[in-house]
């Protein structure tokens, strides 16, 4: 019977809130030589919210993993501080800490609501196909006239009084769908098929879903110009397929399909092609000076990272706001300039630990649906971090995605806090001791009689 | 499913491992390269992070960095920029000029002399401030030089020295520019302003006092006279010399006339008279008789040809290569191959005033740390011995009479004995002459030596040393003497 570790969790939460407040104070001292006026208000606000989240968690998921919530809080808080810092730039950058604080609060509330409402996550299995349909609808929404909006070249927004990125929620719905679908079909998918050379080929009708998902991904890429979400979804699906069936062939086929699709897209659409050129040679002046699809933004990020070096310039003392979109897509290099290599490694370790706790939950889960759902959610989180962080640090071609919990944006924060709530819910189930076998002799006697 | 989950976990680990390796590569290995990249604007901002020291002349702060609290933290501002432009230069986004360049490391606080200070700042979390530079410039003299040169003509230079120390009291070059325009923290605007100034045919960016040389004309006769006095110590102001109306130049069919073809007395005059009237033929003859080597030697003893840093770089003056006697005759009256900076001619006047000793000219009086400690103070330094005190005394006497009753009466100051020498230097064919004046005051105990140079064409076709340059010199000397 694992310990609950609620005390440790409370301590870690307090530590996370403390670090965030210290970072917030550090921005003010770095910029004006004094602690920002709102430090105590915001700090107390965040503290109270976390206390509520903690109490709800202790009540409704007492066996939950103690590390996940503090880690997420820390990453979310560092993101908040960076957005606040970028907002303090000498000119308007588009960063809004107030907005992000509000969304963070809403996110934490959503986290608690999800924990309270969803007492047993296996309920979700019943809504497999509903979730699938919902996911597809959410993905298609931005393409609709009137409500769909194209911002910064990608059509992934809808406006319903305020702007929402439905794709962030679609991500969750689709993972639920994949998990449910694969649990139902995994035996068929794993066992039936023909062997051609070294690859076990699936049957055509089983191949269908893969092709459908691939089609949707490519559709997003083409119609919404969103390489990031397309890559994210397809990678998530392939990984879950692999977890469910254990067949490497699927991964290979999937990769081939995706790389082929991306290659074709690169040939056909200049904006995709530019990403590849820039990735291979970002430092070239030709790309640096190219107005659209050039390497300017990427290089600004790299210059910032270089200037930050190992220890960083210190919060409030660099120029991270000079990177276009430093508060959203490029928040990671912006953080790297002021917190340095040390800060970025700590941040990556936080993400890695969250993912690790998620995967541990998946391993410990007792039913296939839970395993798939927890594994899928964890992988998709890791995969998203890899795509966006790898992109802005030029490890892989750049695609636009939010950095989970850090980038400014309500939809992503909400969706990711719900994702965390699901993981916490499942970790509670996984770590909860199995119901005790009846051992009372007297009662047994009664039964025998 | 645990087997596949574990493999997915390994894949995640690999992904995070790659990200970690990559940020290590970027921020540890490639960091330097990115930091130094020309396109990294942070290099540009770095220039404005620390508060640069002030530049001070007399009691006036003429350059200082103002905290804007903005993205570009400290902006450089120049008060009376046009007046001091050629001395202090400017602090541009990607370069610096003048004192700003020569004393850059002290001003921005990176100098080794300030290393302790910087360490203390780092510990006490105070922003680093650079050292203040106190110039030798006397604001009154500078303003007088600027205003009167502007009245005399649009182009030229004035240098005033303390002959006993070499401290530069005034250094003006016209036309001038506003260094504030070149110091705005905006590369584009600065490039635009700079290109405009650079393309101006009047060359406002050129410091005419030290960066280029001109034919000194008759003012150079002082050097020729010094050579004669040094050669033969029996020679004095009353020694008679040949002064033909036209001097035959050996190996040519033309002769060398006096100014405007005039006669010089009776053809045989005293040395003092020749200098007073600025006759050409006696000095041309003296030069030819002394020969190139002796003339060159005398020039060298005035510091001519010596590379100087004051700490701005001074273009070396020169009397030219050895040619025939005709060329030497012309050189002896400051024409042909003789090329001097106004600073060098001021040094000639200063040497005469200072008993023959040439002091090393300098612009920086003191370097003061942000908390008021004097880090460096310039000690006056002897550059060379131009002539014996006796020869200097004789030359002084002759130059005093040039002002008293010769070509330079416009330089007279009531109640002060002024010595001087005018020059009206021919330039190329048919171009108007340069007008020069060198001088010192008071003759008994010289406090100021001055050189005024009004460039060809700036003061009309009839510019002369006596009419155009001497009055400017008078005003400058008066300003230094507070009269």
- CB–CB of B213/B315 below 8 Å? yes
Of B18, B23, B30, which is closest to A345 when you measure between CB atoms? B23
Whether residue A368 lies within 8 A of chain B, CB to CB, comes out as yes
CB contact under 8 A, B26 and A302: yes
Q: Which of B214, B481, B209 is nearest to B334 (CA)?
A: B214
Q: Which tokens sit at A328? A: 């959203």
CB contact under 8 A, B27 and A344: yes
CB contact under 8 A, A306 and B30: yes
Residue A230, preceding bond cis, omega within 30 degrees?
no
> In chain B, which residues have their Cβ closer than 8 Å to the Cβ of A371?
1-2, 5
Distance from CA of A6 to the nearest CA of B (A): 26
Of A303, A351, A375, which is closest to B37 when you measure between CB atoms? A303
Which secondary-structure segment (H or E) carries A396? Answer: none
Number of H helices, E strands in chain B: 18, 19
Q: Which CATH code of 2.60.40.420, 3.40.710.10, 1.10.760.10, 3.40.190.10 fits the domain covering B219-364+381-481?
A: 3.40.710.10
Whether residue A388 lies within 8 A of chain B, CB to CB, comes out as no
| A-interface mutation test, from B12, B17, B44, most A Cβ less than 10 A away | B12
Contacts 24+ apart (CB under 8 A), B9-14: B9/A356, B9/A359, B9/A363, B11/A239, B11/A379, B12/A352, B12/A355, B12/A356, B12/A359, B12/A378, B12/A379, B12/A382, B13/A352
> In chain A, which residues have their Cβ closer than 8 Å to the Cβ of B20?
345, 348
Strands B55-57 and B132-135: parallel
Q: Which tokens sit at A330? A: 């490029």
Q: pLDDT category, B54, cuts 50, 70, 90?
A: very high
Positions of E strands within A228-329: none
Q: Which tokens sit at B246? A: 């036209």
Q: Catalogue the active-site residues of B.
A: 218
Q: Identify the contact set of chain B against chain A, taking CB-CB distances under 8 A.
A: 1-9, 11-13, 15-16, 18-20, 22-24, 26-28, 30-35, 37, 39-42, 45, 70-71
CB contact under 8 A, B27 and A340: yes
Q: Which tokens sit at B303? A: 């510091």
CA separation, residue B233 to residues A288, B222, B229, B357 (Å): 74, 16, 6, 17
Distance from CA of B8 to the nearest CA of A (A): 7
B372 Cα distance to chain centroid: 28
> If you average pLDDT over residues B60-68, what whole number do you get?
89
Q: What is the dihedral of CA B285, B286, B289, B291, to 10 degrees?
A: -110
Output the pLDDT for position A449.
46
- CB–CB of B109/B53 below 8 Å? yes
Give the residue from chain B lying closest to A354, CA to CA.
B12
Distance from CA of B196 to the nearest CA of A (A): 26
A132-141, B40-49, B100-109, range with the lowest pLDDT: B40-49
User: What is the block-wise mean pLDDT of chain A (449 residues), using blocks of 10 residues?
Assistant: 85 95 91 83 91 94 94 96 90 88 94 94 90 88 82 77 84 91 82 66 68 73 78 88 85 83 79 84 87 86 93 89 90 96 97 96 93 96 96 91 93 95 95 74 53
> In chain A, which residues have their Cβ closer than 8 Å to the Cβ of B9?
356, 359, 363
Give the residue from chain A lying closest to B16, CA to CA.
A352
Q: What is the Cα–Cα distance from B351 to B358, expressed in whole angstroms?
A: 5
Of A299, A359, A394, which is closest to B5 when you measure between CB atoms? A359
Sign of CA dihedral B149, B152, B155, B159: negative
- ipTM value, please give it: 0.93
CB contact under 8 A, B28 and A375: no
Half-sphere exposure for B264 (CA within 13 Å, toward CB): 32
CB contact under 8 A, B31 and A244: no
Q: What is the Cα–Cα distance from A143 to A165, expressed in whole angstroms?
A: 12
> In chain B, which residues have their Cβ closer than 8 Å to the Cβ of A372?
1
Whether residue A344 lies within 8 A of chain B, CB to CB, comes out as yes
Q: Please, which residues 234-263 of chain A have a Cβ atom closer than 8 Å to chain B?
A: 239, 242-246
Of B1, B13, B42, which is closest to A371 when you measure between CB atoms? B1
Q: What is the Cα–Cα distance from B340 to B308, expressed in whole angstroms?
A: 13
Distance from CA of B363 to the nearest CA of A (A): 37
- CB–CB of A254/A241 below 8 Å? yes
Q: Which tokens sit at A331? A: 């928040």
Distance from CA of A316 to the nearest CA of B (A): 11
Distance from CA of B129 to the nearest CA of A (A): 16
> In chain A, which residues have their Cβ closer than 8 Å to the Cβ of B5?
243, 359, 362-363, 371, 375
- CB–CB of A361/A65 below 8 Å? yes
Looking at residue A144, the DSSP 8-state letter turns out to be: S
What is the tens place of the pLDDT at every residue in B9-30? 999 999 999 999 999 999 999 9
CB contact under 8 A, A306 and B40: yes
Whether residue A366 lies within 8 A of chain B, CB to CB, comes out as no
- CB–CB of B229/B391 below 8 Å? yes
Q: Please, which residues 58-117 of chain A have a Cβ atom closer than 8 Å to chain B?
A: 89-91
Distance from CA of A407 to the nearest CA of B (A): 18
Q: Which tokens sit at A435? A: 């119901």
Of A90, A362, A389, which is closest to B5 when you measure between CB atoms? A362
What is the tens place of the pLDDT at every residue in B185-199? 888 888 899 999 999
Q: Which of B190, B226, B185 is nearest to B388 (CA)?
A: B226
CB contact under 8 A, B1 and A375: yes
Distance from CA of B70 to the nearest CA of A (A): 6
Number of H helices, E strands in chain A: 16, 5
Q: Which of B259, B276, B303, B282 is nearest to B420 (CA)?
A: B276
B206 against A277, higher pLDDT: B206
- CB–CB of B62/B80 below 8 Å? yes
Q: How many CB atoms lie within 10 A of CB A65?
A: 24
CB contact under 8 A, A345 and B28: no
Of B1, B9, B28, which is closest to A341 when you measure between CB atoms? B28
Q: What is the Cα–Cα distance from B317 to B342, expressed in whole angstroms?
A: 9
Q: What is the Cα–Cα distance from B418 to B437, expressed in whole angstroms?
A: 12
What is the tens place of the pLDDT at every residue in B350-390? 999 999 999 999 999 999 988 788 888 999 999 999 999 99
> In chain A, which residues have their Cβ closer than 8 Å to the Cβ of B24?
341, 345
CB contact under 8 A, B42 and A307: yes
Q: What is the Cα–Cα distance from A82 to A161, expressed in whole angstroms?
A: 27
Count of A-B CB contacts under 8 Å: 138
| A-interface mutation test, from B19, B36, B39, B50, most A Cβ less than 10 A away | B19
Output the pLDDT for position B483.
66
Q: What is the mean pLDDT of chain B?
A: 89
Q: How many CB atoms lie within 10 A of CB B390?
A: 14
> If you average pLDDT over residues B86-92, what whole number do you get?
92
A243: CB partners within 8 A, 6+ apart: A182, A371, A372, A375, A376, A379, B1, B4, B5, B8
- CB–CB of A250/A258 below 8 Å? no
């Amino acid at each position: 019977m694992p310990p609950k570790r609620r005390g440790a969790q409370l301590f870690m939460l307090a530590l996370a809130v403390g670090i965030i407040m210290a970072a917030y104070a550090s921005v003010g001292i770095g910029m004006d030589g004094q602690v920002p006026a709102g430090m105590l208000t915001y700090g107390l606000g965040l503290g109270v919210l976390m206390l509520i989240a903690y109490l709800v968690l202790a009540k409704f998921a007492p066996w939950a993993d103690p590390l996940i919530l503090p880690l997420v809080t820390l990453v979310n808080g560092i993101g908040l501080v960076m957005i606040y810092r970028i907002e303090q730039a000498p000119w308007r950058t588009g960063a809004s800490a107030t907005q992000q604080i509000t969304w963070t609060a809403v996110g934490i509330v959503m986290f608690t609501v999800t924990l309270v409402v969803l007492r047993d996550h296996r309920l979700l299995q019943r809504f497999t196909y509903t979730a699938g349909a919902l996911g597809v609808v959410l993905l298609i929404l931005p393409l609709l006239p009137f409500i769909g909006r194209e911002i910064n070249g990608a059509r992934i927004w809808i406006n319903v009084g305020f702007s929402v990125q439905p794709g962030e929620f679609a991500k969750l719905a689709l993972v639920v769908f994949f998990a449910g679908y694969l649990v139902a079909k995994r035996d068929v998918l794993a066992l039936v098929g023909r062997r051609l050379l070294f690859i076990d080929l699936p049957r055509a009708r089983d191949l269908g879903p893969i092709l459908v998902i691939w089609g949707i991904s490519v559709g997003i890429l083409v119609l919404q110009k969103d390489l990031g979400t397309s890559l994210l979804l397809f990678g998530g699906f392939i990984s879950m397929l692999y977890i469910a069936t254990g067949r490497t062939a699927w991964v290979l086929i999937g990769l081939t399909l995706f790389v082929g699709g991306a290659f074709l897209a690169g040939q056909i659409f200049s904006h995709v092609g530019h990403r590849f050129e820039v990735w291979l040679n970002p430092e070239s002046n030709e790309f640096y000076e190219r107005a659209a699809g050039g390497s300017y933004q990427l290089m600004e990020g790299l210059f910032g990272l270089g200037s930050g070096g190992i220890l960083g310039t210190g919060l409030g003392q660099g120029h991270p706001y000079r990177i276009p979109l430093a508060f959203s897509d490029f928040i990671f290099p912006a953080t790297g300039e002021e917190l340095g290599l040390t800060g970025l490694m700590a941040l990556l370790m936080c993400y890695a630990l969250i993912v690790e706790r998620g995967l541990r939950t998946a391993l410990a889960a007792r039913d296939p649906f839970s395993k798939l759902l927890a594994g899928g959610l964890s992988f998709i989180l890791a995969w998203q971090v890899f795509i966006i962080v790898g992109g802005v640090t030029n490890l892989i071609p750049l695609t636009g995605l939010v950095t989970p919990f850090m980038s400014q944006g309500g939809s992503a924060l909400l969706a990711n806090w719900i994702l965390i709530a699901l993981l916490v819910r499942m970790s509670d189930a996984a770590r909860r001791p199995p119901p005790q076998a009846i051992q009372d002799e007297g009662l047994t006697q009664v039964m025998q009689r | 499913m645990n087997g596949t989950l574990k493999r997915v976990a390994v894949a995640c680990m690999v992904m995070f491992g790659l990200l970690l390796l990559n940020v290590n590569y970027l921020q540890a290995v490639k960091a330097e390269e990115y930091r130094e990249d020309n396109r990294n604007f942070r290099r540009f901002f770095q220039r404005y992070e620390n508060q640069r020291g002030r530049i001070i002349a007399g009691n006036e702060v003429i350059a200082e960095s103002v905290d804007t609290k903005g993205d570009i933290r400290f902006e450089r501002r120049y008060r009376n920029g046009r007046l001091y432009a050629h001395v202090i230069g400017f602090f541009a986004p990607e370069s610096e000029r003048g004192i700003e360049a020569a004393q850059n490391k002290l001003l921005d606080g990176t100098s080794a002399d300030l290393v302790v200070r910087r360490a203390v700042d780092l510990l006490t979390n105070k922003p680093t401030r650079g050292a203040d530079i106190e110039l030798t410039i006397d604001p009154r003299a500078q303003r007088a030089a600027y205003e009167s040169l502007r009245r005399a003509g649009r182009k030229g230079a004035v240098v005033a020295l303390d002959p006993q120390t070499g401290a530069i009291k005034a250094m003006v070059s016209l036309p001038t520019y506003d260094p504030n325009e070149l110091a705005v923290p905006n590369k584009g605007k600065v490039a635009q302003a700079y290109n405009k100034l650079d393309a101006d045919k009047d060359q406002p960016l050129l410091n005419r006092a030290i960066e280029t040389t001109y034919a000194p004309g008759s003012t150079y006769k002082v050097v020729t006279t010094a050579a004669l006095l040094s050669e033969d110590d029996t020679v004095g102001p009353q020694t008679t010399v040949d002064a033909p109306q036209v001097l035959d130049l050996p190996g040519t069919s033309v002769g060398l006339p006096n100014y405007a073809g005039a006669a010089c007395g009776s053809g045989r005059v005293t040395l003092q008279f020749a200098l007073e009237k600025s006759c050409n033929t006696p000095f041309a003859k003296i030069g030819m008789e002394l020969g190139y080597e002796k003339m060159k030697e005398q020039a060298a003893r005035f510091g001519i040809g010596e590379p100087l840093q004051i700490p701005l770089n001074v273009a070396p003056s020169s009397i030219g290569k050895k040619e025939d006697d005709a060329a030497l005759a012309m050189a002896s009256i400051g024409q042909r191959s003789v090329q001097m900076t106004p600073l060098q001619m001021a040094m000639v006047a200063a040497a005469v005033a200072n008993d023959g000793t040439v002091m090393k000219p300098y612009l920086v009086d003191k370097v003061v740390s942000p908390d008021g400690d004097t880090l460096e103070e310039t000690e006056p330094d002897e550059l060379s011995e131009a002539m014996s005190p006796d020869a200097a005394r004789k030359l002084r006497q002759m130059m005093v009479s040039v002002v008293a009753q010769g070509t330079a009466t416009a330089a007279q100051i009531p109640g002060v004995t002024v010595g001087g020498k005018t020059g009206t230097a021919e330039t190329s064919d048919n171009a108007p002459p340069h007008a020069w004046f060198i001088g010192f005051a008071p003759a008994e105990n010289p406090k100021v030596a001055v050189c005024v140079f009004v460039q060809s064409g700036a003061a009309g076709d009839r510019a002369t040393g006596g009419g155009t340059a001497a009055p400017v010199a008078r005003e400058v000397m008066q300003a230094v003497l507070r009269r």
